[in-house]
Amino acid sequence: MNIIFVEPSFPYNQREFVRALHAAGANVIGIGERPKEYLSDEMKSWLGAYVQVRSVVHEPSMLEAVRSIQKKAWVDRIEATVEAHIMPVAKVREACGIPGTSVHTAYLCRDKPAMKEALRKAGISCAQSTRAESPADARAFAEAVGYPLIIKPPAGAGASGTYRVDSDDDLEKVIIESGLAEGVAVAVEEFIQGHEGYIDTLTINGDVAHEFITHYYPNVLEAMRKRWISPQMVTTNRIDAEGYTEVRKMTRNVIRILDIDTSATHMEWFYGPRGLKFSEIGCRPPGVGQWDVYNTANDFDLYLEWACALVHGKPHKAPSRRYAAGMIALRPECDGRITGYSGVEEINQRYGNRIVAAHLPDPGSRTQPVEGGYMANAWMRVRHPDYDELRRTMDAIGQTIKVHAA
């Protein structure tokens, strides 16, 4: 099977998808923006061919590259795993007659107002939302729905470019800061109170083959705005518990409604006083190396599972569910350069056998803004067979380790 994989070397964990495709028996053809000489020897050994383009989101360049490959060999699939690549690759896929995620599905999984409109019509419980293309649109929605609201890019990922709006004054500020005053379209949504989490799946022919549920502590918007918080993402190994039945059922309904076929998915949800609410979905893997968390929790290789889904149409191995696992972000006390750490030795002595990976940038390293995300600065991955004990361990890590900066 000949599979084109888009941008094999950046970001770094893209290499894992290529490795897995090669291990599953595919002939992998890479398309990327970097010269072939940039690729590592290991990457070159996994690729049967490589084509450089000026940009993997420039559809004419991608279309030309894929058609040139098709002249030499039959192409069974073309795959992308980065959010920004999903739509241009879907358009090229359809233009070239290659199976996979359709333009329609990619659009609904990327454009939040259209996504929620389609799901609401099908009976999925979502926050009220609209696409605002002018300040008047946003003001009218605020008047109809009330505060608080969330304003974010229609096709954004995570909390990037996201604002919470609690008043008319806030709204006027965000109209300017978001670019809406200059005609930049935004998604405006009712703010949902409740606990936030996500469910990630690997689907094969529309059926869920693997699934994993992760909780945010605290919710993302709060975590990305307050430096003192060491936010956690914690994956449960109790997925068969009765409390997860509703979100698992919702996920399958969303996959069916959006016609997601063989793909990774990442679906965010809220649960609060008004019950379970769908937030958004992407037809791609989650970010922040979350598949590595699932791997360490389940004694298997989710990248290989994904590759086997594409190459063989079936999973390779069942997850063990042996551990709950999570990642905790450790923020520097201020922006600048890291001067050192405290508490690391104590944590290693107490919990070293539970820590499976850690990133502690060297003193002298420049810090990244809190808004940069969970892996922007220092972080640790941790696992334990008991979910509650894992939570206690991660709380202790967040309370003990300090990242000093100046």
Q: Residues 85-106: pLDDT tens digits?
A: 999 999 999 999 999 999 999 9
Q: Does an H or E element contain 69, and which?
A: helix 59-70
Tokens of 140: 């009218």
With left for phi above 0 and alpha for psi between -120 and 50, is residue 342 left, alpha or beta? beta
Do residues 188 and 162 lie in contact, with contact meaning Cβ atoms separated by under 8 Å? no
Per-residue model confidence (pLDDT) at position 371? 86
Distance CA 374, CA 188 (A): 24
Per-residue model confidence (pLDDT) at position 397? 98
Give the end of a domain, one of 147, 174, 190: 190
- Residue 301 sits in the same domain as residue 375: yes
Is 80 exceeded by the pLDDT of residue 279?
yes
Q: Determine, yes or no, domain membership for 105.
A: no
Q: Determine, yes or no, domain membership for 107.
A: no
Is 60 exceeded by the pLDDT of residue 158?
no
Per-residue model confidence (pLDDT) at position 88? 97
Per-residue model confidence (pLDDT) at position 159? 58
Distance CA 166, CA 31 (A): 45
- Residue 142 sits in the same domain as residue 186: yes
Q: How confident is the model at residue 193 (pLDDT cuts 50, 70, 90)?
A: confident
Per-residue model confidence (pLDDT) at position 154? 81
Q: Determine, yes or no, domain membership for 80.
A: yes
- Residue 143 sits in the same domain as residue 277: no
Distance CA 70, CA 337 (A): 49
Question: Cα–Cα distances in Å, from 275 out to 105, 216, 266?
Answer: 27, 17, 20
**CATH at residue 222:** 3.30.470.20
Q: Determine, yes or no, domain membership for 206.
A: yes
* Bridge partners for 359 per DSSP: 379
For 294-310, the pLDDT digits (tens) are 999 999 999 999 999 99
For 111-122, the pLDDT digits (tens) are 988 999 999 999
- Residue 230 sits in the same domain as residue 352: yes
Give the end of a domain, one of 190, 212, 244: 190
Residue that the structure tokens 């300040």 belong to: 135
**Mean pLDDT, residues 306-330 taken together:** 98
Neighbours of 402 (CB within 10 A): 16
- Residue 364 sits in the same domain as residue 391: yes
Mean pLDDT, the chain, rounded, equals: 95
- Residue 241 sits in the same domain as residue 362: yes
**Mean pLDDT, residues 4-16 taken together:** 94
- Residue 175 sits in the same domain as residue 292: no
Residue % of the chain over a pLDDT of 90: 89
For 201-254, the pLDDT digits (tens) are 999 999 999 999 999 999 998 898 889 999 999 999 999 999 999 999 999 999
Q: Determine, yes or no, domain membership for 116.
A: no
Give the end of a domain, one of 100, 120, 152: 100
Is 70 exceeded by the pLDDT of residue 157?
no
**Mean pLDDT, residues 39-58 taken together:** 97
Is 70 exceeded by the pLDDT of residue 161?
yes
- Residue 75 sits in the same domain as residue 168: no
Q: How confident is the model at residue 156 (pLDDT cuts 50, 70, 90)?
A: low
Distance CA 180, CA 331 (A): 31
- Residue 309 sits in the same domain as residue 186: no
Per-residue model confidence (pLDDT) at position 300? 96
146-155, 190-199, 346-355: which range is least confident on average? 146-155
123: which DSSP letter?
T
Per-residue model confidence (pLDDT) at position 59? 97
Is 60 exceeded by the pLDDT of residue 7?
yes
Per-residue model confidence (pLDDT) at position 331? 96
Record the pTM. Answer: 0.92
For 327-383, the pLDDT digits (tens) are 999 999 999 999 999 999 999 999 999 999 999 999 999 999 998 889 999 999 999
Per-residue model confidence (pLDDT) at position 185? 92
Q: How confident is the model at residue 127 (pLDDT cuts 50, 70, 90)?
A: confident
Q: How many domains are there within the chain? A: 3
**CATH at residue 142:** 3.30.1490.20
Q: Determine, yes or no, domain membership for 110.
A: no
- Residue 236 sits in the same domain as residue 358: yes
**Mean pLDDT, residues 50-59 taken together:** 97
Q: How confident is the model at residue 319 (pLDDT cuts 50, 70, 90)?
A: very high
Domain that residue 69 falls in: 2-100
Q: How confident is the model at residue 160 (pLDDT cuts 50, 70, 90)?
A: low
Do residues 156 and 373 lie in contact, with contact meaning Cβ atoms separated by under 8 Å? no
